[in-house]
Structure 1
C-alpha cells in the first residue's frame, strides 16, 4: 500500500496546481493549497514511520523495472526530508491566508498558489526519485517555480533578485546536467543504485571524476554553500514574506539532501576521500559559518540578516558532513530539521512585521516590540534557538557537532562553531535591542504614519503559524527522541551504504 502513497506525494500537487491556477478567488486557491500541503504532510509521516527501521519502499513508474525505468526508492533519509518540506508547506500555507492578499496583486493570486504547489511538487520529487536525471527534472521544476514566486513580490527589487537567482540557478543546473551527462556516458545508466553497484567497472575513467566535479559544483550553487551563496540574501530579502518562509526552510535543505545522495549513495566515500573533498568541505563549512555570521551582524534589515544567517547555518551542516563520522552526520541531518523550524519561525515573525508595519528595517521599527509582545517573544525564542541556547533545537545540533569535532580533535572546527555562536548572539541582540530597548523613540515606518490604523493587528492565522513554529522549537529542543532517532537512522544508513 505504501508503494502507492509515494507517488501520491507528487501526483496530488501536480493535479491540483493547474486547477488552482484557474481560480482567481483567494479563499478557494488558499484552501486548495492548504489541503494539498496537509495531505502531503500526512503521507510523508506515514511513509517515514514505515521506513524508519531501515526498510525501503520502492515504486516503479509505469511498471518499468530499473535501470530502464524511473524508480522511486524511499528510505529514512528522503522520507525525513519529505516530512520537513511538507511540514513547512503546512506552516507557510496557514500564514499565507492574510499575507498573500497584502503582498500579491489580486490578479495573480491563483497563479501564485499554483506556483507554490509546483515548488512543493519539485522539492518532494527531488527527495523521492532514485533516478539522477529525473532528479534534475524535479530540481528545475522547483527552481522555475521559485523564480516565479520571488518575482511576484510588489517591490521592484523582487524582480532583480529573481533574475539574479535565475541566472545563477541556471548556471548551477547546467553544471549538474553536464555532470549527469558525463556520468551516463561512463556508466550507461541513470539509476543511482545501478550506478553505485557497477561503479567499480568504470571508476578509472576520467569522465567519472569530471562528472563528480560538475555535479558537486551544481549542487553547491543550489545549496548556497560558501562561496556560491551570492543569490541567497537578495532572494530571501526581497521575496514576498511567505516565499521567504518556505524557501529559507526547504530549498537549500533539499539541495543538501542531493549532496548527501551524491557523496554517500552515488559515489563511494573512499573515492572522493582520495581527492580531498572532506578537507575542502570542512574549510568551506568553517569559513561559511564565520562569514555568514559576520555578514548577518552587519545587516540593518531583518530579512537580509536572517538570509546571511542561513549561509552560516548551511556551514554547520557542511561541517558535519565533512567530519565523516556517525555523530557528525547525525548532527547535519538533524540540523536540516532544526534549522528549517528555526528559520521558518523567524521569517514568519518578519512576515508579520511586513504585514503590520510595511517594513523590516531595524531603524524604522524601534520600540515596536511593545505593541507586539507575543510576536517578538516567539521571535526571540527562535533567535535563542539560532544561537544554540540549551533547551532549544539549535543547542541539540551544536552539541552533537561539537562532540563530533572533539572526537577527531578538530579544534579549528570547534573554534569556528564558537565564533559563529558568539556572532549569532550579537545579531540576535541587534533585533532585541531595536525592538525592545528604544521604546522612547516614536515608531515611524515607511508609508505608514505612526499611530495610524494602517499599523494593523496581525491576523489569527499568522499568529497560529508563528505559535506552531515557536512551540516546535521548544518541544523538539526538550524532547529530542523523534528527530534524533530519525537523523541517527539516516546517518547509519548512509555510512552503511
Structure 2
C-alpha cells in the first residue's frame, strides 16, 4: 500500500512536516524531524527511480480522478533522476547544517529555518513530479517564496536586500510563466501536460501559441539565471546563510532547467522549438556569451561565495548548450551536467561554509594561509575545484566530454573550441582560491583556525568525494541521463 502511494507521499510528508516544525518549536526536536523527513524522502526517490528503470514511467492519479480532469503525478526517467539528486542534496545538507545554523542564524529562528527548508524541498520535488502545468507554477512559487525567506535569514543587512531583489526578479519570472500557462489553457482547455501535448499542435502555429511559448521561455530563463537575466543570483548566493546557499545552489536552478526541458521536449516538441523556430541558435548564443561573461566576472570577485555564484551562471550555460543540440547525445550531456554541477557546486559551497565557520568570513583576503591550519577543508576545495574545471576522473570531466563530443558531432566545432577556452577561465578563478589558501602567510585568524566539526566535514567529503566517484563510475549518472534523454525523445530506453 505504501509503495503504491510513494509519488504522493514524497510531497505530502515534507509538506505536513513543515508546519509541524513551527508547532513543535524546540530546535533540537525540529532538526531531528526535518532530518528524518529528508532521509525518508530520499529513500522514496530511490525506490521510485528503481521502479521506473525496472517497469517504466509511474502514473499516479490524485484522489483516483483520471487525467485530464484530475491532477496526475508522473515519474519517468528524467523526473526520477532529478528527484533522486535533489532529495539526496536535501538530506546531506541537513546532516551538515547544525554548526553552520548555530553560527549564522539566531537561535530564535532555527525552527523557522527548518520549516522553511522543508517547504522549499517540497516545492522543488513537486515541480519534478507533477504532470499538471498549473501545479508546476504552484510548486515553483512554494519553492521560490521559501527561498526568499531562507535568504533573508542571512546575518548581514544585505541579506534582506538580496532576498528582495530575488523576489522582484522571481515575481517577474513567475508572472511570465503564469501568463504562458494561461494562454496554453486558453488554446487547449486542459492543464495536464500529456493532454496538452496531444492538443497543442493544432494551435501551435497561431500567434497565441508563439506568445505563450515566448512567455514561458523568458520566465524560465529568469528562474534559471540565464545571462543576462541572472542579476538576482549573485546577491542571493552571497548573502544567504552558508547552509542555505549550499542547498539552493545545488538544486534551484537545476530544477528550473528541468522544467524548461520538460516543456520543450514534453509539451511544445523539439521539432517546433528547434526546427520551425530558431531557439537552438538563440540558446547556443546565450549559453556561450553567458559562459564567458560569467566566468570573466568570477575571476575578479573578492568574495568566494560570489566567485561560485558567477560560476553557477556559467555552468547553466553548459546545460543550455546541451539542450540546444537537441539530439540524444546533447540532451544526455545537458542532463548529466545538471547532476554533476549539483554535487560539485553543492560540495564547494559546503567547503565555503566550513571556512566561514572558522574564519568568520567568505572574503578571499581573510582566507590567506588557511590551507596550512585547515588542510582537510582546503583539500576538499581543491578536489571540488578540479571537478568544476573538468579535470579527468572527476564528474565535471564526464559531462564536459559528453557535451564536447555532442557539439563536435553536430558540426559546431567552433563552439567546442570556445568550450575548451572557457575551462581555462574556470582554472583561473579556482586557482586564485588555491593560491590564497596554500601560498600566502596565514592571517592572525587563519593562523589560529582549526578544522570544522566532523559533522560538517564528513558530509562535505561525502559530496565532494562523489565528484571523484561519478567521474569514474558513470552508470548512475551518465547512464541515467541517457535513459532520461531517450525517453524524452520518444525512444525505448
Alignment TM-score, normalising by the size of structure 2:
0.97
Q: 1:54·1:489 contact (CA, 8 Å) conserved in 2?
A: no
Choose the corresponding residue for 1:322, options 313, 321, 324. Answer: 324
Instruction: Identify the residue that residue 309 of structure 1 maps to in structure 2.
Output: 311
Deviation at 1:437, TM superposition (A): 0.1
Deviation at 1:425, TM superposition (A): 0.6
Instruction: Identify the residue that residue 411 of structure 1 maps to in structure 2.
Output: 413
Any idea what SS the aligned residue of 1:300 has?
coil
Choose the corresponding residue for 1:290, options 292, 308, 317. Answer: 292
Unaligned 5+ runs, structure 2: none
Instruction: Identify the residue that residue 193 of structure 1 maps to in structure 2.
Output: 194
Instruction: Identify the residue that residue 389 of structure 2 maps to in structure 1.
Output: 387
Instruction: Identify the residue that residue 141 of structure 1 maps to in structure 2.
Output: 142
Deviation at 1:102, TM superposition (A): 1.1
Instruction: Judge which range, 34-43 or 200-209, deviates more.
Output: 200-209
Question: CA separation in 1, counterparts of 2:258 and 2:467?
Answer: 22
Choose the corresponding residue for 1:427, options 407, 429, 435. Answer: 429
Question: CA separation in 1, counterparts of 2:13 and 2:458?
Answer: 25
Deviation at 1:229, TM superposition (A): 0.7
- 1:427-451 CA-to-partner distances (Å, cap 9, x unmatched) read 0100000010002x53347xxxx64
Question: CA separation in 2, counterparts of 1:310 and 1:52?
Answer: 30
Deviation at 1:110, TM superposition (A): 0.6
Question: CA separation in 1, counterparts of 2:109 and 2:278?
Answer: 48
Q: 1:289·1:416 contact (CA, 8 Å) conserved in 2?
A: no
Q: 2:367·2:443 contact (CA, 8 Å) conserved in 1?
A: no
Deviation at 1:19, TM superposition (A): 0.7
Any idea what SS the aligned residue of 1:360 has?
coil
- 1:348-390 CA-to-partner distances (Å, cap 9, x unmatched) read 0000111111111111211011111111101100000000000
Question: CA separation in 1, counterparts of 2:226 and 2:33?
Answer: 34
Question: CA separation in 2, counterparts of 1:457 and 1:396?
Answer: 31
Q: 2:153·2:241 contact (CA, 8 Å) conserved in 1?
A: yes
Question: CA separation in 2, counterparts of 1:43 and 1:331?
Answer: 26
Instruction: Identify the residue that residue 375 of structure 1 maps to in structure 2.
Output: 377
Q: 1:333·1:487 contact (CA, 8 Å) conserved in 2?
A: yes
Q: 1:367·1:443 contact (CA, 8 Å) conserved in 2?
A: no
Instruction: Identify the residue that residue 476 of structure 2 maps to in structure 1.
Output: 482
Any idea what SS the aligned residue of 1:141 has?
helix
Instruction: Identify the residue that residue 466 of structure 1 maps to in structure 2.
Output: 460
Unaligned 5+ runs, structure 1: none
Instruction: Judge which range, 51-60 or 34-43, deviates more.
Output: 51-60
Question: CA separation in 1, counterparts of 2:444 and 2:308?
Answer: 22
Instruction: Identify the residue that residue 253 of structure 1 maps to in structure 2.
Output: 254
Q: 2:366·2:443 contact (CA, 8 Å) conserved in 1?
A: no
Calculate the aligned-residue CA RMSD, in Å. Answer: 1.3
Deviation at 1:457, TM superposition (A): 4.2
Any idea what SS the aligned residue of 1:496 has?
coil
Instruction: Identify the residue that residue 492 of structure 1 maps to in structure 2.
Output: 486
Deviation at 1:137, TM superposition (A): 0.3
Q: How does 1:92-131 map to 2 (within 5 A)?
A: 92-131=93-132
Any idea what SS the aligned residue of 1:163 has?
helix
Alignment TM-score, normalising by the size of structure 1:
0.96
Runs of at least 4 residues of structure 1 off by over 4 A?
none
Question: CA separation in 2, counterparts of 1:427 and 1:235?
Answer: 20
Question: CA separation in 1, counterparts of 2:339 and 2:205?
Answer: 37
Any idea what SS the aligned residue of 2:444 has?
coil
Instruction: Identify the residue that residue 301 of structure 2 maps to in structure 1.
Output: 299
Question: CA separation in 1, counterparts of 2:415 and 2:162?
Answer: 33
Instruction: Identify the residue that residue 355 of structure 2 maps to in structure 1.
Output: 353
Instruction: Identify the residue that residue 52 of structure 2 maps to in structure 1.
Output: 51
Choose the corresponding residue for 2:280, options 278, 281, 287. Answer: 278
Question: CA separation in 2, counterparts of 1:111 and 1:260?
Answer: 33
Instruction: Identify the residue that residue 340 of structure 2 maps to in structure 1.
Output: 338
Instruction: Identify the residue that residue 264 of structure 2 maps to in structure 1.
Output: 263
Change in CA separation of 1:85 and 1:128 when aligned onto 2, cut-off 3 Å: same
Any idea what SS the aligned residue of 1:414 has?
helix
Question: CA separation in 1, counterparts of 2:432 and 2:309?
Answer: 15
Question: CA separation in 2, counterparts of 1:230 and 1:196?
Answer: 33
Any idea what SS the aligned residue of 1:190 has?
coil
Any idea what SS the aligned residue of 2:361 has?
coil
Any idea what SS the aligned residue of 1:52 has?
helix
Name the count of aligned residue pairs. 489
Deviation at 1:24, TM superposition (A): 3.3
Deviation at 1:63, TM superposition (A): 1.5
- 1:50-70 CA-to-partner distances (Å, cap 9, x unmatched) read 112571111111111111111
Question: CA separation in 1, counterparts of 2:332 and 2:272?
Answer: 22
Instruction: Identify the residue that residue 181 of structure 1 maps to in structure 2.
Output: 182
Q: 2:119·2:146 contact (CA, 8 Å) conserved in 1?
A: yes
Deviation at 1:169, TM superposition (A): 0.2
Instruction: Identify the residue that residue 91 of structure 2 maps to in structure 1.
Output: 90
